[in-house]
Each structure stands twice: as C-alpha cells, then as structure tokens.
Amino acid sequence: MFKLNRKNGVSFYTITSFEETGLVKHGFSTREGGISEGCYSSMNLRFHCDDKRENVLENYRIISNALGMDYRKLVLSKQVHEDVIHTVSEEDIGNGIIYENKFESVDALITDKKGIPLVTLFADCVPLYFLDRRLGVAALAHSGWKGTVKRIGQKTVQKMKSDYNSRAEDILAAIGPSIQECHFEVGDDVAEIFIKEFGSETAVSYGDKYHVNMQKAIVKQLLECGIPPENIDNSGICTYCNSDLLFSHRKTNGKRGNLGAFIELI
C-alpha cells in the first residue's frame, strides 16, 4: 500500500511493504513542500528548465531531509526512455547533484551498497521500486510507454537475479503514481504494440480512441519473472487525476516540474 505522509510541510508517499522490512529509506515526492513557483510549484525536482537551479537544489535538500537522506549523496538517473540499467557504486555519489550528470543513458539504477540514495524522475511515466528483502538489493526504474515495451522492469529484475543471485520470491516490487488507463490516450500504432506484446486487456477502446494501461503490462512482466502477485504493490494513483498534488505532463502540456522516486539501503 502507498501511504501519503506529511512532515514539516512536505508530503510524500511511502510503501508499507518496504517500510516493514526495515532495510530502506524511501519515498515518492509530491508537489508540496518546495520553494519553486508558477507551473513548477512547489517541489520541482527538474533541472534544465525555466526554474532556477538554486530552487531545484533547495527542493532536493528539503525532500531528502524529510526522507532522512543526505541530498549531497544522491545519484540521479539520466532518463531517455531506453532500457539501460546502471549498477551504482560509491564512485557515483553526487551524480546529477554535486556535479553534472555523467550518464548518457540510464533509465534504471540498482545497488547493494548502503547509504547511497538512488533517484529517478517522473511526471506521468511509471516509477518502479524493487527490493530484495533477503540480500539487501534495491533498484528503481523509469518505465514510460517505450520503456514498458522494452520491458525495463523485467530487465531490472533479471539483473537482480544475474548480478546478485536474487530470488524472485524475495523481491518486493511497487508501481508508483503514474498516468492511468483513464487518461492515457494513445494512437492506434502504440495500442497495437501493447496488444501484441501484453494482450488486449492492456489497450482498451474508449470510443474511437485507445487508452493504454501500462500498469497491467508491467504487472504481467513481473509475474513472468516469477515475482509472486502478493509481492507486487500497485498504487493505482493517477498523476493526471491528481495534478493538484502530482505533476502531470499530459495535463499541463509539458508545463510542469518533476516528481522523484527515492530509495536508499540502510
């Protein structure tokens, strides 16, 4: 279950099953609690936009403090809707925060190192959280429709298995706030891809238009990896429907900030 928390004016979601392990600090940010203004109001975590860099850095400091993390140690992804997974080590500490992002293409981060907080960014795409509760391996993945078709969630689980000897039954997975079927209208070409790859239930006809359900496609991938259904937590929270609390690219025609998924082994 995704639970909304409020702390010192900052609001963020946490995942009950992850909390219960005692292995991680984690959270998913909302729009509340930052210092940005206008369409970026207020907890914008998006660099390289019209928001001031010092505002974005302060927002990272604020949300990191609320989650009990050191913002200077954050490791940010470099999301380009591909399926590259980067194994994070101490050499990556501060990437995208203390120094310019050195990654060229990284849509998923994975580590077994304690004390290194991972961050992926969102404004409708699907945040994926993974935790091996037996071995202590954590991962985040950014799964837009292209990443979903490229099965980045499934590939992240496979990397946990191949690189860390994780067992599917030990992996907790969570699907965070993202645009849901109700508002994810797509063209016939995208719908056909989802129907072919994941079945007709993932692309539903709404009159003369198709709407895609990325979350169902992702759950199917995770089940194919052997993750038990009871280990998969789907938030069901729509960023478009809740754009007062969450940034939505579609709702605002791109005039928005970014939300962040955070996880750190402790």
Tell me the pLDDT band of 217, cut-offs 50, 70 and 90.
Answer: very high
Q: In this predicted structure, what is the pLDDT of residue 76?
A: 98
Q: In this predicted structure, what is the pLDDT of residue 131?
A: 99
Q: In this predicted structure, what is the pLDDT of residue 209?
A: 97
Q: In this predicted structure, what is the pLDDT of residue 264?
A: 99
What's the rounded mean pLDDT across residues 145-157?
Answer: 98
Task: Please state at what angle helix 152-164 crosses helix 214-224, rounded to 10 degrees.
Answer: 30
Report the 10 Å Cβ neighbour count for 192.
13
Stated pTM of the model: 0.98
Taking only the tens place, the pLDDT of each residue in 68-103 is 999 999 999 999 999 999 999 999 999 999 999 999
Question: What phi, psi does 157 have (nearest 5°)?
Answer: -65, -40
What's the rounded mean pLDDT across residues 237-262?
Answer: 98
Report long-range pairs for 103-107 (Cβ below 8 Å, ≥24 apart): 103/77, 103/78, 104/78, 105/78, 105/80, 106/77, 106/78, 106/79, 107/77, 107/79, 107/80, 107/81, 107/82, 107/83, 107/141, 107/142, 107/143, 107/147, 107/152
Taking only the tens place, the pLDDT of each residue in 229-246 is 999 999 999 999 999 999
Q: In this predicted structure, what is the pLDDT of residue 195?
A: 98
Taking only the tens place, the pLDDT of each residue in 24-50 is 999 999 999 999 999 999 999 999 999
